[in-house]
Amino acid sequence: MVPIIEVEHLMKDFKIAKRETGFAGAIRSLVKREFITKEAVKDISFTIEEGEMVGYIGPNGAGKSTTIKMLTGILVPSGGSVRVNGIIPYENRQKNAKNIGVVFGQRTQLWWDLPTIESFELLKEIYQVSNERYEENMATFTDILGLDEFLDTPVRQLSLGQRMRADIAASLLHDPPILFLDEPTIGLDVVAKEKMRTFIKEINKERNITVILTTHDMEDIEKLCKRMVLIDHGQKVYDGEISVVKDRFGKIRTLVVDLEESDCILQLSGGKVFKEEGNRYWIHFNRDEVSASELIAQITSTHNIKDLTVEEPEIESIISRIYQEGFQDLPNPVKV
Amino acid sequence: MFNYRVYWTFTKKSFLRSSVYRFDVWSRLGSNIIFLLMWGSIWTALYAGREEAGGVGFEAMLTYIVVSQFLTGVNGAGTPLWEIQEKVRTGDIALELMRPFDIPLRYLFADIGSVAFYIVTALLPLYTVLFIFMDLALPTDWLTWLYFVVASIIGFMIRYCIEMSFGLLTFFLVETGGIEDIFYFAMSLLSGSVIPLWFFPDWLATIALYLPFQGIYYIPNAIFIGEIAGAEILVSIGIQLFWVAVTYMTLRLIWNRASRKVVVQGG
Ligand SMILES: Nc1ncnc2c1ncn2[C@@H]1O[C@H](COP(=O)(O)OP(=O)(O)OP(=O)(O)O)[C@@H](O)[C@H]1O
Ligand SMILES: [Mg+2]
């Protein structure tokens, strides 16, 4: 079977005009502008099969959104090739548009000053969705996402969570086979995040929609994706099963404790102090080997704890650990 | 490929949207009337009681001004220049690139919607009253009216293509204040909207005649007052059609380059 998304040696440079300073600089820039080239995406290749749900992750500025924008056809690649459902997106934007649904968590695609329902109706016309299909979809989405509580409210008055729900419903009205979600849970509270995840999971399963998802929330990935593509500085670092990365890096938790005294030597079985500042200590531990409460018990037997927190691993910290420790000995090395 | 229902939706939506911004309609109508009075009194003073100047009678001149203000109302009701600049500046234009429609056409149809609303609710009532109660030189045969309507519609298209092209230059330039100035200057002077071409010094009239702007105001208006008549009418409409074709192709060319240059901020 031909993969539904094919990305090969994809590149994107941005030319940024250099800001000259001072009077002489201003005059010079009138005549000749200097540009700095920023390589947002350097050389990324991957393929995605129909029905897959893939987490596309990486630290801030890694090039995730830039990649998604090239998949949607908004941006023209500087090199390499993209194919989405057999179409080269930037050459055939309108045709590609019918195949994809897109949510950019950071900005809405709904019409700002129209009541939410009117945006839906407008999209219905734009995508030529039949009345029956429209009713069906609206019923399903309303059911899971609770749209009915704000359908008559203008988009600009929606809360972030409501807006995000409206946006994802809007992206699916025309039954696209592919869905791009760029940080669909950003800024949502725990309950709203959970709802969003349930919804994404369901449409992926029920409708066999192929999903690419970027996020900074490790839980999104854990709950939704089997596979992840990890990028950094515009290059692919890892592509494979999440469980592999999670087994290896995701179980490391950090216990942060404030003790009454400083300069203690903490000897802990199952935990390792990797940083200390005054009387605050950061301790790595593997939750499979030792529980946080066991560690705390060990510490309290010799010291007094004033305060403590347990930190979940963020995708950023996992990535930085992957960087430090390397991939060479991962059982499932980088696929190219 | 062309699916008119999609575009028609934008016409309907922007028609309805205009009705939400009713204050806008009234304030525009207000300024339209003020300009009408202003130009009316300026030209009355310039004629200074004479029956005729530059080969054109006072009554015809007054009619020219009224028609010109009417056309200004029509052509000023849509705001694609401003809208497109705003979309480019905020990066929202990119989101429209992900939709299955053609952007220049989508804005044209939206423009038609807001213009239609303004014509129906404000311009037609006002100018019907003016035509009835003022002493104006109205065309006596229906064919001239028809030519006028046709020429005005073509003029509207020329203006749209030019305005949109100017708006799209936002993609290539950091500051666009200068662009706007050039556009509005050409629109008001070279189009003959405030001073008819026959009062221009020869050299300026020649320049204006070789530019598309006269097709927006001067040609329909001169047809209306009978300054362009007979076989000349068809020639003038031919010239307008030529300019629609040229400005439309220019718009497409600029759009093709612009849409490859989209820069999306943030996200
Ligand atoms: N329009 C642009 N002009 C210039 N540089 C850009 C532009 N868009 C993105 N960049 C740069 O390209 C790099 C990748 O940006 P991108 O938005 O793809 O990152 P990201 O992985 O989505 O990050 P985040 O997690 O913060 O959303 C960044 O260094 C960014 O500054
Ligand atoms: Mg991003």
Best residue of A74, A87, A88, A174 to probe chain B, by most B CBs closer than 10 Å: A74
Contact B217, B241 (CB under 8 A): no
Give me the residue spans of the domains in chain B: 4-259
3-state SS, one letter per residue, for chain B: CCCHHHHHHHHHHHHHHHHHCHHHHHHHHHHHHHHHHHHHHHHHHHHCCCCEECCEEHHHHHHHHHHHHHHHHHHHHCCHHHHHHHHHHHCHHHHHHCCCCCHHHHHHHHHHHHHHHHHHHHHHHHHHHHHHHCCCCCCCCHHHHHHHHHHHHHHHHHHHHHHHHHHHHHHCCCCCHHHHHHHHHHHHHHCCCCCCHHHCCHHHHHHHHCCHHHHCCHHHHHHHHCCCCCHHHHHHHHHHHHHHHHHHHHHHHHHHHHHCCCCCCCC
- A-chain residues near B20 (CB < 8 A): 113
Q: A111 CB under 6 A from ligand 1?
A: no
Q: A14 CB under 6 A from ligand 1?
A: yes
Q: What's residue A335's pLDDT?
A: 40
Contact A82, A135 (CB under 8 A): no
Q: What's residue A289's pLDDT?
A: 85
- Secondary structure class of A35 (helix, strand, coil): strand
Residue A63: left if φ>0, alpha if ψ -120 to 50, beta else—which one?
left
Crossing angle of helices A116-126/B4-20, nearest 10°?
160
CATH tag, A5-246: 3.40.50.300
Q: Tell me which residues of chain A have a C-beta less than 8 Å from any C-beta of chain B.
A: 14, 17, 65, 69, 72-76, 90, 93-98, 100, 102, 104, 106-107, 109, 113-114, 118, 122, 125-128, 182-183
Q: What's residue B51's pLDDT?
A: 83
Give the model confidence (pLDDT) of A152-196 as tens digits.
999 999 999 999 999 999 999 999 999 999 999 998 898 889 989
Q: Which of these, A94, A150, A144, lies nearest to A118 by C-alpha position?
A: A150
CB contact under 8 A, B98 and A104: no
CA distances from B9 to A110, A127, B1, B14, B223 (A): 15, 11, 16, 9, 33
Identify the weakest region by mean pLDDT among A213-227, B85-99, B132-146.
B85-99
pLDDT class of B266 with cuts at 50, 70, 90: very low
Output the six-digit token pair for B233. 């009418």
Average pLDDT for B63-69: 92
Q: What's residue A33's pLDDT?
A: 72
pLDDT class of B264 with cuts at 50, 70, 90: low
Only one residue has tokens 């849509």, namely: B78
Q: What's residue A319's pLDDT?
A: 67
Given a cut of 70, whether residue B24 has pLDDT beyond it is yes
What is the topology classification, in CATH, of domain A251-311? Answer: Alpha-Beta Plaits (3.30.70)
pTM: 0.82
Give the nearest partner residue to B99 out of A104, A118, A126, using CB atoms: A126
As a whole number, the mean pLDDT across chain B is: 88
- Give φ, ψ of B147 to 5 degrees: -60, -40
Three-point CA angle B252, B253, B258, nearest 5°: 95
Which residues does A131 contact at the CB level (< 8 Å), separation at least 6? Answer: none
Neighbours of A246 (CB within 10 A): 16
Chain B residue with Cα closest to A75: B262
d(CA A97, CA A128): 12
Give the model confidence (pLDDT) of B49-59 as tens digits.
888 887 888 88
Instruction: Tell me the average confidence (pLDDT) per consecutive run of 10 residues in chain A, 336 residues long.
Output: 92 81 72 82 95 92 94 92 94 92 90 88 93 95 90 92 94 96 91 91 94 90 90 89 75 85 82 86 86 88 88 67 60 43
Burial of B174 (0-12, 13-18, 19+ CB in 10 A): exposed
For ligand 2, the distance from its centroid to the CA atom of residue A63, given in whole angstroms, is 7
Output the six-digit token pair for B183. 């556009």
Identify the weakest region by mean pLDDT among A81-95, B162-176, B200-214, B221-235.
B162-176
Neighbours of A188 (CB within 10 A): 20
d(CA A287, CA A290): 5
Give me the residue spans of the domains in chain A: 5-246, 251-311
* ipTM value greater than 0.95: no
Burial of B134 (0-12, 13-18, 19+ CB in 10 A): middle
Q: Which of these, B89, B91, B94, B78, lies nearest to B21 by C-alpha position?
A: B78
Q: Which of these, A7, A53, A23, lies nearest to A221 by C-alpha position?
A: A53
